[in-house]
Amino acid sequence: MRGRVDEIAIGLLSFLRKSRERSYAIPKLAEKFSTRPRFINQALRGLVVWGYKFEFDNTSKVRFVSAPDSIFPHEIEHYLKTKFIGRNIISHFSVPSTNSLAFSLAEDGAPEGTLVIAEKQTSGRGRLGRRWHSSPKKGLWTSLILKPPFPPAELPGLSIVAATALAETIISKLELDAKVKWPNDCLIDGYKVAGILTEISAELDKANFVIVGTGININHTTKDFPPAFRRRATSLKIETGGRIDRVRFLADFLLEFEKTYIQFKRHGLKPLLPRIKKLSSLLGKQVRLKKGNKTILAKAVDIGVDGALLVRRRKETLRVTAGEVTVV
Ligand code: BTN
């Protein structure tokens, strides 16, 4: 669909789904949208091609039935309640990596809050140079462009902010016991359900922008993960036992993220620390830290105001700002 018919289709969709119990005659809809019945029919046909379902009764009145499981911008906007996060949406079927695309859009001046999303990534990237497996239409592969007014040293806290907001969304909306494995993994029962990759463009004393890339396993079955990941990964569907509405979940997460991010921008990480510590899967545990070829065994005791993990080894407290941490 193109141009005016596209516009009619989006308006028509929003109108019909708001009153989904009622059927409307095509001429009445044409009158409402100040167009001809033939354009209403064209718009409806286009929506059907996109995967929307409608019911036509024997007098040719039409009623909205259901939406497809797709990440169309207008579908996300239908559920979105944020002020600026996700208010500019770039949605693709396939990209190499949403983080890479978001990075170049940010370099070209895309506004704060821009959401880049794809059904599939062909070279999805994880932390520490790993690949991120992103099966088509199973998960949410997203990147947000953010422009926090902080020096680069304070930005690593953003990964924890995003992971915390995500874990809280999983807990409040799906009643699952989600945890955050410092600094940026979301776990359920020890299995990884989501990962966050934060990338920064900065000068010495000022960040130009930050990309927060989030990969959430949503409707995967165990077989959808590559064999090597099956023992460590899970999805929201596996944990709840039912299919999850991806777009609705995304809108819930973006709202939670926005609220937390606004607080972070105003007051830094400090007021968020009680929430962050409550969700931590590491605090109080013996952990193994890997940095380069060094491995250290220590006890995770706290998270600092800069987001660093504090660990205790013998009588010494160490600040960990990067690397791989696992519970022993
Ligand atoms: C990790 O756990 O190692 C982080 C994984 C981050 C994956 C997401 S998916 C969307 C965005 N685009 C990428 O290429 N990576 C992030």
Q: Note down the domain range covering 322.
A: 286-327
Is 132 a pocket residue for ligand 1 (Cβ < 6 Å)? yes
Whether 135 and 262 share a structural domain: yes
Is 130 a pocket residue for ligand 1 (Cβ < 6 Å)? yes
Distance between Cα 231 and ligand 1 center (Å): 19
Structural domain total, the chain: 3
Per the structure block, which two tokens stand in for 296? 């250290």
CATH number for the domain that contains residue 294: 2.30.30
CATH number for the domain that contains residue 11: 1.10.10.10
Decide if 273 contacts 306 (C-beta within 8 A). Answer: no
Q: Give the strand order in the sheet containing 24-25.
A: 24-25, 61-66, 53-56
Is 16 a pocket residue for ligand 1 (Cβ < 6 Å)? no
Decide if 163 contacts 130 (C-beta within 8 A). Answer: no
Write out the chain's pLDDT in tens, 328 residues. 457 778 899 999 999 999 889 999 999 999 999 999 999 999 999 999 999 999 998 888 999 999 999 999 999 999 999 999 999 999 999 999 999 999 999 999 999 999 999 999 999 999 988 999 999 999 999 999 999 988 888 888 899 999 999 999 999 999 999 999 999 999 999 999 999 999 999 988 888 999 999 999 999 999 999 998 999 999 999 999 999 999 999 999 999 999 999 999 999 999 999 999 999 999 999 999 987 788 999 999 999 999 999 999 998 999 998 888 999 9
Whether 264 and 292 share a structural domain: no
Query: What number does the ligand 1 atom closest to the CA of 142 have?
Result: 10
pTM here is 0.94
Whether 144 and 113 share a structural domain: yes
SS (H, E, C) 66-89: ECCCCCCHHHHHHHCCCCCCCCCE
Of residues 223, 106, 300, the one with CA closest to residue 323: 300
